[in-house]
Amino acid sequence: MKPLIRRILREETDTALSEKIWNAVKGVGKLALKNNGLSWLIRQVVGATPTKARLIFPKEGWETTAVKILENIGVVTGTYETLDEANNFFKDLKQNGCDKCLEELLIGSHGFQGNLLTTQKGGRKGYKKRWDAETRTLIQTDEILWETGMRYAFKTDFLEHIKPVVNPNTKVYFTACHGADKLTMLKEAADELGCECYACMGDNAFSFGCEDSNWSCNANTGIPSFEFSGSQSEDERAVITGEEGLSRYMSAKAYTDKVNEFYVENGVCQEQLNIPFNWFTLFG
């Protein structure tokens, strides 16, 4: 089964939530739930406020289709093509009474070393043009012909709208493959959010099967962040690693390994044998 078919349904701490939601939605059908989402639930389900959320950024094509189908059979946090769409969820959450209320947050997306979030859209756009006979020029229309995704590599600004709904005790998990390969990225995410952040070292089957190991980094430890290997010259990396004459790739790897070791030795980051997340669906 492909990783993103494992769609995680929204969870709340209220033990009677499943029954409340079922009673609320069984008389109105799936359409109201699908089109109104979280705001509708908060109004209808006895004012329940979510404390655990799963946000998914699938690839275009079969992944999006699979996730959308699964949305129709349960109550989901949300499937998003762009960061702006997800930010609306967090704003909605905040406006409906979630002031640093989340205990757990999962950000599900593809990724690579130094990148905790990849979106399907939100990047460059190509617009259709039409010929204007009067000016004898091509004029750009508002019709979008294509749109690229966004890779939020080596940056944490995409976390801006998450901060108001998390607190120092919140656990945040990024499913992006290789999200913990460069612990500096995970450390800076934790510092930005002010809470412990988790990710996988190696390939990740949507957090069900991390190839190497799961890791977490603590927030605001007072330990400064190292620059990423790509920002260092080979000579500068050699000073940190104590190894000279390495190839460019091996020099960068040795530098990253040394930085990761430093974070572990100083109590900034640690390997996690078991991630503290409880996966379950609301309707069995």
pLDDT at 277: 57
Structure confidence by residue, pLDDT tens digits, 110-146: 888 888 988 888 878 888 899 988 888 989 999 888 8
Residues making up the chain, counted from first to last: 284
Of 12-26, 102-116, 118-132, 218-232, least confident by mean pLDDT is 12-26
What distance in Å separates the CA atoms of residue 238 and residue 258, rounded to the nearest whole number?
Answer: 11
pLDDT at 18: 54
The answer on pLDDT for 87 being more than 70 is: yes
Residue with the larger pLDDT of the pair 12 and 239:
239
Beta bridge partners of 166: 102
pLDDT at 259: 94
* Strands laid side by side in the 196-201 sheet: 78-79, 52-57, 102-109, 166-174, 196-201, 213-217, 269-272
What is this structure's pTM? Answer: 0.73
What is the pLDDT averaged over residues 192-219? 85
Residue with the larger pLDDT of the pair 140 and 55:
140
Structure confidence by residue, pLDDT tens digits, 162-200: 999 899 999 998 988 899 999 999 999 999 999 999 999
Residue with the larger pLDDT of the pair 276 and 247:
247
pLDDT at 254: 92
